[in-house]
Amino acid sequence: MRKLSVTLLSAFSIFVGLLLLWQSVIWIFSLPPYLLPSPARVAHAIVTRLPSLMTSLGLTAAAAAGGLLAALLVGVAIALLFAQSPWIRRMFYPYTILLQTVPIVAIAPMILLWIGPGLSAVTLIAFIICLAPIVANTTQGLISVDRNMVDLFLMHNASRSQVLLKLRLPHAMPSIFTGIRIASGIAVIGAITGELFAGSSRVGVGGIGYAIQYASAQLETDYLFALVLAATLLGFVFFFAVMFLDWYFLHHWHESARVVDQE
Amino acid sequence: MNTPLIVPAIALDQATKRYGIAKAGIATILESITTQVQRREFVSIIGPSGCGKSTLLKIVAGLSPITSGSIAIHGMTPQKARELISFIFQDATLLPWRTVRQNVVLGLELDGMARETRNAKVDTVLSLVGLSHVADSFPRQLSGGMKMRVSIARALATRPQILLLDEPFAALDEMTRDRINEELLRLREEQNWTALFVTHSVAEAVFLSTRILILAPNPGRIAHDLPIELPFPRTESTRRSSAFDRTVSEVSRALRSVSINSESKGDGQEIGVYPA
């Protein structure tokens, strides 16, 4: 407990220090607000435009979470298929790498063209960017089961589905969570990138990416700062939510999840 | 103890195991293994590495088919006899996401036994190996010796006729190992299974066995078949007896002759591979 309060206190003092530095840069170089708004102005923008900020935040969160969840379901399903035989893996694995290397910025306009702007397009973009790490990690987890453990199941004439449900899937859980952790970070980035292209089907209402574009075009730098803060916060929330789930499901038995568990 | 009318627990006749395809070169792992293990025997298999000890266990378990010859477990094929057999692996191979109780119940669960019946069986076997107090712990909370006990409990829960053990205690410290050895003999006294035990330790083999098979490598074959006449029950004092020391040095000598021969024979050519 004491350690925690020290950590919080030091984090808070650094925060205050940064605010002071920010303010003094404005004073020293006498920067106009459209180049660098003061902390007070940003705070003011957050308070006065809270409803639209929350709407944007909600849309981006929905797209990122939806994309992540869909990628989890589809990704695990693909990995289960991959785990069936090395032959299937050799045939299809290159395509998952392709999925990982294709620049999302380049395919966003295509998606916009095909399904039109709006939440579903953004969700699809987040989904695409999340899929590869989940497939790769889950597959690895499913196939890296100790040979002796498989033999143990075979000695009891276990069926394929029993080996899968009682051995491979639980064994893969830590790897699946590694995949989700990687994907959760890029899900938010993917959604915001998607929104830059396909953010809104209604003028003025869109996710954070859309609002960022709008605010920068209008030189509303104070609101731009507020949006960047909101986006960062969203990434934080995703990261810690996944970390909590990881801990919740694995801390009983798995070493990786025990860090939080000790003291 | 055994009359010829009783089918042996394990009967191998000219059993041979080869790997590979004719053109690329065939490795003979085991060559013409012929032996019988009677019920209630405790047979240890020792030999230099690469002599096919573990493969022999996998063949008996029905996890690896033989290339030629025949094998019968209680008069059946190994696949049919699987429910008579339990396998104890080199490391405890516990499922880390299951508690001790859930690990021990695994075999019964896979065999499709009703929940009530299997829970009662698990309680019995846990108290048999002295693990009742950690029944709800996870494997990572246990010491190496305790993990191995869980592994033994899991193997015994299905009431096997035959126990196959593949260097199960190699990773344990000597004191723990000695204690588990004694426990294993006590459990055998109560449950009357047949054991086929692979080990690197001559002393362990002598202490546990009624018979020791020494395998020679390249290709794996039975070089010596030595009965161990030390009286049962064997305890801590057995290890201190001069008869025990004498037997250990006899077996060691036999093992050494096999190892030396295999080293000189292996010179110059790739070991155990005979191109067609």
Residue type, A71: A
Nearest CA to A135 among A187, A86, A188, A95?
Answer: A95
List the one residue out of B142, B164, B157 whose CA is nearest residue B64: B164
Across A71-80, A197-206, B46-55, least confident range: A197-206
| DSSP code string of A111-180 | HHHHH-SSHHHHHHHHHHHHHHHHHHHHHHHHH---HHHHHHHHHTT--HHHHIIIIIHHHHHHHHHHHH
CATH 3.40.50.300 is the classification of domain B92-200? yes
Quickly state the pLDDT bin for B268 (edges 50, 70, 90).
very low
**Are residues B93 and A158, on separate chains, in Cβ contact within 8 Å?**
no
B196's enclosing H/E stretch is strand B194-198
Write the pLDDT tens digit of every residue in A51-91.
999 999 999 999 999 999 999 999 999 999 998 888 988 88
Q: Quick one: DSSP state of residue B8?
A: P
Task: Tell me if B110 and A167 make a contact (CB, 8 A cut-off).
Answer: no
Q: Which residues of A touch B109 (CB under 8 A)?
A: 166
What is the arithmetic mean of pLDDT over A4-27? 89
Strand B162-166: give its sheet, edge to edge: B85-88, B162-166, B194-198, B42-46, B211-216, B221-227
SS (H, E, C) A96-130: HHHHHHCCHHHHHHHHHHHHCCCHHHHHHHHHHHH
Q: What is the ipTM metric for this complex?
A: 0.84
Instruction: Please give, rounded to a whole number of angstroms, the shortest distance from the CA of B276 to a CA of chain A.
Output: 29
CA–CA dist B192, B195 (Å, integer): 9
Which residue in the block uniquely carries the two structure tokens 């039109």?
A: A116
Over the range B122-134, which residues count as b (16 or more CB within 10 Å of their CB) and which as e? beebbebbebeeb
Question: Is B35 within 8 Å of B95 (Cβ atoms)?
Answer: no
Q: What is the pLDDT of residues B101-151, one digit of tens each?
A: 999 999 999 988 888 888 888 998 998 888 899 999 999 989 888 999 899
Sole residue written with tokens 């970390």: A243
**Pairing verdict, β B10-19 and B68-73:** antiparallel
Asked if the Cβ–Cβ distance from B110 to A154 is below 8 Å, we say: no
Confidence of residue B4 (pLDDT cuts 50, 70, 90): low
Distance from CA of A179 to the nearest CA of B (A): 19
Tell me what the mean pLDDT of segment B204-229 comes to. 91
**Domain boundaries in chain A?**
1-31, 37-258
CB proximity A173 to B under 8 Å: yes
Asked if residue B264 has pLDDT above 70, the reply is no
Residues A202-231 pLDDT 10s = 656 788 998 998 888 888 999 999 999 999
The percentage of residues in chain B with a pLDDT greater than 90, rounded to a whole number, is: 37
Q: What is the fold of A37-258?
A: MetI-like fold (1.10.3720)
Every domain of chain B and the residues it spans: 7-36+62-80, 92-200, 204-261
First to last CA, chain A: 9
Give the type of residue at B175. Answer: M
